[in-house]
Amino acid sequence: MKRRSTTPSLKSFKTRALLVSVAFMVAVATPLAYSQQANADEFDERIAALQRQIDSYQSAAQELGAKADTLQRKLDGIKNEIAQLQTQIDLNQAKYEQLVVKIKETEKEIADNRDALGEVIANLAIEGDITPLEMLASAKNISDYVDKQTYQSSMRDELKSTISRINDLKDQLEKQKIQTETALENQKRARSALDSKRAEQQQLVNETRGQEAAYQSLKKKTQAQQQEVMEAQQAAIRAATASNGGVKFVGGGSGGYPWGPGNCPMMGMFSTGGADGNGGDGWGYGCRQCASYAAWKIGQRTGIIPTNLGNANNFPSSLSHRPQGYTAKANSVGVIMAGEYGHVVWVESGPDAEGYITVSQYNANYGDGWGNFSRVRVHQSSYDVYIYF
């Protein structure tokens, strides 16, 4: 009877939420152990079902997050349009106020010119009553007479020109005023429409963000349920193995594996810190996880650490070029294929007369927490396949 486990290859607190490692190293030798193991195994489907729920909630949250981001970009675009339109409104408002001032100045200029022109007209009218002979007689000389005649003619022309210029200026200012008023009115209506559109878009963003938060909340609740089931699974298997003495702990350290509590602290089941600050070990696995330790042990044996082999149950296919079999040998990797992620160990000694082997591993929780090293004596039938090095 093979033991089941779920150990992801790269499980960090931020990037691989809820990829949980559950490693089972159990020796099975009696019918009683078989029955107990079956009871423990029934947790797998519950764990997998909860994982599917978590994945669906995460997918929905991601879709809503992307939708909210798109809506936010549209909202930002509307806000930008409003800002541009407001700038145009402010510009036209300034032009309008300037025109109002100019019109007032022009009206004053018209009034002043009317007063001045009134005097000119009166003088011309008076002088117009004088006959040319009387003007010649009153002149000091012929040159004075010519000057008076020229003055009258010049004043008449200047009068016509001034009246024409003032009237044209007034007409232009009035037209500009009307155009500016119309532009201002249109721009204010456009801004009102954009304000309504912005309010609608903001409501959509808020609603979508709220839905995303709801799915994230569901995901967290389901993650908590999954963790409870997985811990119950661990407890069931420990109870089954303890009942018939299947696992015996063997002393010794990890042999120089570079990751530990100091540089790869665990947050519950999840790796943090590490080579990338996010729980990665630099080889494509989570630090202090089973796959990371097994890959490191392969590197100790061969001189090259294999990178990015995947989850524990991906090792046989990723290392298909290596010899594999169902009998344990020293310096091989034992693989449990069951569960979503599986579990891997390093075989330190071949089977004895009873079929027991010594393996070392990381992240098999025997009650002392996650991400810890252990060396145990377990029956070789605990693993589905061995990869030889």
Q: How confident is the model at residue 206 (pLDDT cuts 50, 70, 90)?
A: confident
Q: Are residues 140 and 13 in the same domain?
A: no
Task: Give the pLDDT confidence score for residue 325 in this predicted structure.
Answer: 97
Task: Give the pLDDT confidence score for residue 148 in this predicted structure.
Answer: 57
Q: Does some domain include residue 34?
A: no
Task: Give the pLDDT confidence score for residue 4 in this predicted structure.
Answer: 37
CA distance 345 to 240: 20
CATH, residue 94: 1.10.287
Decide if pLDDT at 199 tops 70: yes
Q: Are residues 161 and 257 in the same domain?
A: no
Task: Give the pLDDT confidence score for residue 33 in this predicted structure.
Answer: 33
Residues 6+ apart with CB under 8 A from 260: 288
Q: Are residues 204 and 264 in the same domain?
A: no
Q: Are residues 170 and 271 in the same domain?
A: no
Between 202 and 23, name the one with better pLDDT: 202
Q: Are residues 185 and 318 in the same domain?
A: no
Q: Are residues 252 and 377 in the same domain?
A: yes
Q: How confident is the model at residue 301 (pLDDT cuts 50, 70, 90)?
A: very high
Q: Does some domain include residue 45?
A: no
Decide if pLDDT at 268 tops 50: yes
Q: Does some domain include residue 50?
A: no
Task: Give the pLDDT confidence score for residue 176 in this predicted structure.
Answer: 79
pLDDT digits (tens, 9 = 90+) for 111-160: 777 666 666 665 655 555 555 555 555 555 556 555 555 666 666 666 66
Q: Which domain holds residue 117?
A: 72-213
Q: What total of structural domains would you count in the chain?
A: 2
Q: Does some domain include residue 200?
A: yes
Q: Are residues 262 and 383 in the same domain?
A: yes
Q: How confident is the model at residue 15 (pLDDT cuts 50, 70, 90)?
A: very low
Q: Does some domain include residue 48?
A: no
Helix (H, G, I), strand (E, B) or coil at 333: strand
Cα→Cα distances 359→38, 97, 240, Å: 23, 88, 19
Inter-axis angle of helices 142-243 and 43-128, nearest 10? 170
Last residue of a domain, one of 213, 235, 266: 213
Mean pLDDT over 369-378 rounds to 89
Between 381 and 326, name the one with better pLDDT: 326
Last residue of a domain, one of 196, 213, 230: 213
Q: Are residues 120 and 204 in the same domain?
A: yes
Decide if pLDDT at 367 tops 80: no
Q: Does some domain include residue 357?
A: yes
Put the strands of the sheet holding 248-249 in their side by side order. Answer: 248-249, 373-379, 356-362, 343-349, 332-336, 385-388, 324-325
CATH, residue 278: 3.90.1720.10
Task: Give the pLDDT confidence score for residue 319 in this predicted structure.
Answer: 97
Q: Does some domain include residue 160?
A: yes
Task: Give the pLDDT confidence score for residue 285 in this predicted structure.
Answer: 96
Run of H or E including 137: helix 132-138
Task: Give the pLDDT confidence score for residue 280 in this predicted structure.
Answer: 95
- The mean predicted confidence, pLDDT, of the chain is 75
Q: Are residues 93 and 160 in the same domain?
A: yes
State both tokens at 178.
Answer: 């009307």
Task: Give the pLDDT confidence score for residue 22 in this predicted structure.
Answer: 31
Helix (H, G, I), strand (E, B) or coil at 126: helix
Q: Does some domain include residue 219?
A: no
Task: Give the pLDDT confidence score for residue 140 in this predicted structure.
Answer: 56
Last residue of a domain, one of 213, 231, 259: 213
pLDDT digits (tens, 9 = 90+) for 57-104: 888 878 877 877 887 887 787 777 777 777 777 877 777 777 778 777
